[in-house]
Structures are given as structure tokens and as C-alpha cells.
Amino acid sequence: MQTPRKASARAGSNIAFLKYWGNRDDSLNLPNNSSLSLTLDALQTVTSVEFSPNLPADEVIIDGQEASPAAYSRVTAHLDFLRSLAKTDFFARVGSRNNFPLGVGLAASASGFAALTVAATKALGLEIEKRRLTRLARRGSGSAARSILGGYVEWLAGSGDEDSYAREIFPKEHWELLDIIAIVSTSAKEISSQDGHRLAATSPFYPMRLQSLPQNLSKMKEAIERQDLETLGPLIENEALSMHSIMMTSKPPLLYWQPATLAVLREIPEWRKGGIEGYFTLDAGPNVHVLTLPQQANEIRSRLEKLPGVQQVLVAQPGEGAKIVAEHLF
């Protein structure tokens, strides 16, 4: 293994406009469909990794605490994969810090595994180009493939490991869409996305969903190219409801919504009638993301803050891709 052995990286989370839900290969995280997202600047993970011949096992600290057994085994499995590429058996010390609550559907694993992949490959002395980095991050968490890149990103379903990678379709400067996030719960979700992907195919509606996605994807890309929120917004809302209908009709069902989730979802179309243009989406969690333009952001933020059950509101701008940073966490 070549020096350096220690490296740190920062990555932003992302919000999917067209969702990844269901794999055709769970071990390689090969998805059933291509997906599309915007990388966010405000929700970030910084991760430091140091490989050492003196460690008896991997050590993983997340937000100042020892990782849970589930998080530990996910991180060490990813480290094992990256170690096999570098042909080393040194264990690693990993420290990771998020500036947003974990396990609430804010895709901490996207920014987390993107940052881990970039920091660990650097610390292992591997020189890896961007496209391959997205494929490596994909192995840790599917949505992490998209967080390797900034701006508007497409992750191609591909036909196998080689061609299931993420690519930037528009840079973050192309269009300043804002994501206003209404946090209605900060408790960890009961069913992880990882387990959820396995249930997708148990919904009788899943084949219909998959059939409709390629056309929706091209419509979304065209709307982003034209900076046309009036077209993009309804596509995004419909897509979130489509994914949640699969979750709700899986066996067993997955119901991520809280009462406050529905309260927010009902408000947004009402606000539009009054000229406040925001459109909702949700990931695998109860929190609601509202996509809007900068001139409406303050109004939407203050309206969300007043809704019962909304605990906190975050505002995120389009963000850049994962990158190496000079400051280490330890």
C-alpha cells in the first residue's frame, strides 16, 4: 500500500426526483431502474479514514459515538471491498460527522458512503477516476453513487456492474432549485432502505411502476434542461407517490408517513393555488422535501415552520460532488 494512509473527504446528500427503489442484484446494488437526483450542499458528511498495520480491527465512530452493529458491519463490508482492490489487509480507523440527523430519510448513507469511498480510496493510495468512483460508492449504498457528483445527476441502471454508474447531466450552476426540508420526525426509521429494496417486488404494482419510469425520466430531463418547474414539479410529486404506493402495498407493507407528513402534503397544492410554487417529494422516511425557486423560498420556509408537527426546516441549495478535504476529524 502506498502513502498516504490517512485521508478525509466531504460529500453532500442528494434528493431523488426519480427514485431508486428495488434492486435486480442486492449484493452489487444493481437497481431495477435508472434514477435522477440533485446533490445538496447543506446536508453534508465529512469522513476521515486511516489505515494502520497496528489496529486489531476496524474502528468506526459516527457523530462522536461508536457505530451501531448494523452501521459497523455495513461500513466494514465496504472497507473490505475497497481493501481487496488495494490488496491490503490493514484495518482502518473511521471517523464520520454529519451536520444533519441520521436515519430520518435524509439519505445520510448517500453522503456517508460517498465520503467514505473517496476518503478510503485516497488513503489506500488508489487513483480512481470519477465514473469508477461512482460504481464503487454504489456498492456501499446505491444512492451514494449519485452523491459522488455535484448538481443534477443520473444513475444509469445499466446491464451490469460495469455500466451501472452515475453521471452529471447538468452542473449545479445550471438551475438554482432549492430543497426546503420539513423535518417532522428525527427518530430512526424502523425499516432501512436496504431492507425496503428487497420488498419492492412484493407489491403487485411494481411491474407497472417500472414500466412507466423511462418515459418519466426523459420528461424530467427535458424539464430540467428548460428550467421548467411547472412541468418538473408535478412529475416529481407523482413519482414520490408512486414509490410510496409500492412501499404501502408491499408484503409486509412499509408506511413511512407520520400524520404531520400528510398534513404537509395536503398544504403544498393549496399554496400553489395562491401562487406559491413548491412541489413535494419524500424519500424512505416521513420528512417532506419541497422543491422551489429562490424567490419563493422564504415564504415556503415560514409557512412550513408554522405547520403543526413540523419540528425544523432546513434549506439546501444545489451542491458539489464529493471531494478530498485537508482537515481530518482525528
Nearest-approach distance from CB 94 to ligand DP6, in angstroms: 17
Residue 64 in contact with residue 94, Cβ under 8 Å?
no
Residue numbers 4-33 binding ligand DP6 by CB under 6 A: 16, 19-21
Q: Which is nearer to ligand DP6, 194 or 312 (CB)?
A: 194
**What letter would DSSP give residue 75?**
H
Q: Which is nearer to ligand DP6, 108 or 260 (CB)?
A: 108
Q: Which is nearer to ligand DP6, 21 or 152 (CB)?
A: 21
Residue 39 in contact with residue 150, Cβ under 8 Å?
yes
Q: Is 114 in the site for ligand DP6 (CB under 6 A)?
A: no
Q: What is the dihedral of CA 199, 241, 110, 253, to 10 degrees?
A: -30
Residue written as cell 476521515? 48
Q: Is 245 in the site for ligand DP6 (CB under 6 A)?
A: no
Q: Is 78 in the site for ligand DP6 (CB under 6 A)?
A: no
Region near ligand DP6 per CB under 6 A, out of 187-195, 212-220, 226-234, 309-317: 187-195
Q: Is 212 in the site for ligand DP6 (CB under 6 A)?
A: no
Residue 168 in contact with residue 318, Cβ under 8 Å?
no
Radius of gyration for the alpha carbons in the chain, expressed in angstroms and rounded: 19
Q: Which is nearer to ligand DP6, 22 or 303 (CB)?
A: 22
Q: Is 35 in the site for ligand DP6 (CB under 6 A)?
A: yes
> For every residue of 269-323, which 3-state class applies, written as one string?
HHHHHCCCCEEEECCCCCCEEEEECHHHHHHHHHHHHHCCCCCEEEEECECCCCE
Q: Using CB under 6 A, which of 45, 109, 111, 281 touches ligand DP6?
A: 109
SS3 158: coil
**At 41, phi and psi to the nearest 5?**
-85, -30
Q: Is 143 in the site for ligand DP6 (CB under 6 A)?
A: yes
Q: Which is nearer to ligand DP6, 71 or 313 (CB)?
A: 71
Q: Which is nearer to ligand DP6, 5 or 116 (CB)?
A: 116
* First-residue to last-residue Cα distance in the chain: 21
Nearest-approach distance from CB 246 to ligand DP6, in angstroms: 10
Q: Is 284 in the site for ligand DP6 (CB under 6 A)?
A: yes
Contacts with ligand DP6 by CB under 6 A lie at: 16, 19-21, 35, 107, 109-110, 141-143, 192-194, 197, 283-284
